[in-house]
């Protein structure tokens, strides 16, 4: 497997995505720990008092903006089309060979941009406090 500049840029953007998700998971655990301490101090509960949980089956994360999720998805698909020389299922989307050859080598820019935008579309939900 030959590593090119484009492949390395996409790998770096994917690593950034996974680091962002790991950071969000760590932040959620800190929130849960802080809220558990807050509940224990305020309500006089025992040390092992658990936080109220969300309904089963709800995801532990949320999406900040579905519009940006769609934009990131479209940008990534466009980058994949550029990588395939603007061909999908044997059909050429752009007939101008010179134009395709000129811009197809920069396929990694929209793919990496879409991944970075997608990384910022996630949020964590703070734990629920019972008031």
Q: Which residue has the higher pLDDT, 46 or 53?
A: 53
CA atoms within 13 A on the CB side of 131: 0
Q: Which residue has the higher pLDDT, 2 or 78?
A: 78
Assess if residue 25 is contained within a domain: yes
Q: Virtual CA dihedral for 85, 90, 96, 98, nearest 10 degrees?
A: 40
Q: 48 lies in which domain range?
A: 5-124
pLDDT band with cut points at 50, 70 and 90 for residue 52:
low
Assess if residue 103 is contained within a domain: yes
Poorest-confidence range of 6-20, 42-56, 83-97, 117-131?
Answer: 42-56
pLDDT band with cut points at 50, 70 and 90 for residue 124:
confident
What is the rounded average pLDDT of the residues 76-87? 84
Rounded CA-CA distance 86/98 in Å is 12
Assess if residue 85 is contained within a domain: yes
Assess if residue 88 is contained within a domain: yes
Helix (H) or strand (E) holding 62: strand 61-63
Q: Which residue has the higher pLDDT, 10 or 105?
A: 10
Number of domains in the chain: 1
Assess if residue 131 is contained within a domain: no
Assess if residue 94 is contained within a domain: yes
Q: What does the buried/exposed string (b/e) look like for 68-88 if buried means 16 or more CB atoms within 10 Å of the residue's CB?
A: eeebbeebbebbebbbeebee
């Amino acid at each position: 497997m030959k590593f090119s500049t484009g492949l390395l840029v996409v790998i770096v953007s994917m690593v950034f995505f996974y680091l962002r998700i790991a950071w969000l998971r760590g932040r959620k655990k800190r929130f849960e720990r802080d809220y558990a301490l807050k509940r224990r101090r305020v309500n006089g509960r025992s040390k092992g008092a658990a936080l109220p949980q969300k309904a089963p089956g709800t995801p532990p994360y949320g999406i900040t903006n579905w519009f940006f999720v769609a934009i990131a998805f479209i940008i990534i698909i466009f980058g994949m089309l550029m990588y395939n020389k603007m061909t999908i299922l044997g059909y050429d989307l752009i007939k101008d060979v010179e134009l395709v050859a000129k811009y197809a080598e920069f396929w990694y820019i929209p793919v990496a941009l879409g991944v970075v935008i997608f990384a910022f579309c996630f949020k964590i939900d703070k734990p629920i406090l019972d008031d």
